[in-house]
Amino acid sequence: MKDEARQTPFLNLYILIYKNFKKLFIFNFIVGLLALIYVFTLPLSYRSTASVVVQSESGSGGLAAMVSQFSPFPISLGGGAEVQKFMGVLETKRVMDVIIEEFDLQNLYEKKTRVETYRTILESLELFDREDGSFSISYTIEDDPELAKRIVEALYTELVKIMLELNQANAFDYRMYMENAYESAAEELRESEIAFNQFQKETGIVSLEDQTIATIGAVTELELEKVKREIELDYLRQTLTPDHPDVQSKMLELAAFKKKLAEIKHNDESYLVAVDQLPDNSLAYLRHFRDVTVNSKLSEFLALQLEQARMEEQKETVNLYLLDPPEVPDRKYKPRRLSILVIIMFFSVVFSVGYFLIKDYFWQNRDIIQSKLS
């Protein structure tokens, strides 16, 4: 007596497919034919891409470089710009409104509202940060490769326009701030020069010993650095919140300079004459001379920064460079017909085999099922 073949799930599946092979073949052939017709009727989408590099500009130094570092938008007063900020500008409604109006996208996309058009644009727009100081702008559109290129060009043009406006607005604000700072320093210089000249006329003191001059020089340099940091801190407080880390850091830095100045003025240094040990007239002379020197150097410093700010305000460039201009795509971006066809056929086979498995199961257990249902 022959042993009966051992029943396994795989064997049962094989038998089921063999018994229903003709039906399975016809069903999947029809599905495949319909899928083939479907994928070849899908509209073709084209993508155009531009590569943009954020250039590192050499700053104007001093306070100007510091200001650009903490500016809410990248400005040309010094330092580079973050790629994410440029990419964020491209996703604003202002930019999208420009390309909607220029290319009549609301009618092209057949959308009833502007909000739906915004959503479609954002789905078609892809911004990619390459994390090397550059990013790409890509736009995908159906049936019109030339339009894809023109939209990317318009996006880049509008980005440059907006950033130029921001640069000039920041440069204007900074120039106004520097003008006020310079005028204040110039006024203090005039007052200190008048007071110094009056003191010299009253006392007849016109110079001090070299060692005292060394003391004045050291104190003057520290005073000048302290005043610079006070100006920087004042500007930062106007642009940042009081608890911002950069404001706190600048406050600590300023406190350190003030402490060092207090030490020089009240302690006997081994390499300097202590200020408190000078005679009254000499001490007064030192203070007048120091005030004139500090205000003179500060005025020179601010005059250079003001001139630089005026030059920056007149600039009509941004630190962007179009490395790879957009081109008319010569091949479709999607649909990926083969992938779609494979996916459809996979689910078709799974569905058809599953159908016959369920049908066979119910047929073999129909008596049990009917008894439970009755």
pTM for this prediction: 0.61
Strands of the sheet containing 125-129, edge to edge, are 125-129, 134-142, 45-54, 320-324
Per-residue confidence (pLDDT) for residue 99, from 0 to 100: 94
Contact 306, 178 (CB under 8 A): yes
Domain formed by 172-314, architecture: Up-down Bundle (1.20)
Query: Which residues, in sequence order, are bridge partners of residue 45?
Result: 142, 334
**DSSP E strands, the chain:** 45-54, 125-129, 134-142, 320-324
Per-residue confidence (pLDDT) for residue 265, from 0 to 100: 59
Residues of the chain short of pLDDT 50, as ranges, are 1-4, 58-81, 268-278
Contact 363, 35 (CB under 8 A): no
Q: Could you tell me which of 167, 166, 95, 87 has the C-alpha nearest to residue 134? A: 87
CATH code, 45-168+318-324: 3.30.70.1130
The DSSP annotation for 31-61 comes to: HHHHHHHHHHHSPPEEEEEEEEEEPPPP---
The DSSP annotation for 116-159 comes to: HHHHHHHHHEEEEE-SSSEEEEEEEEES-HHHHHHHHHHHHHHH
Residues of the chain with CATH 1.20.1500: 172-314
Per-residue confidence (pLDDT) for residue 212, from 0 to 100: 56
Q: How far apart are CA 168 and CA 337, in angstroms?
A: 49
Contact 50, 137 (CB under 8 A): yes
Residues of the chain with CATH 3.30.70.1130: 45-168+318-324
Q: Could you tell me which of 105, 95, 64, 131 has the C-alpha nearest to residue 312? A: 64
pLDDT, tens digit, for every residue of 142-173? 888 999 999 999 999 999 999 888 878 877 87
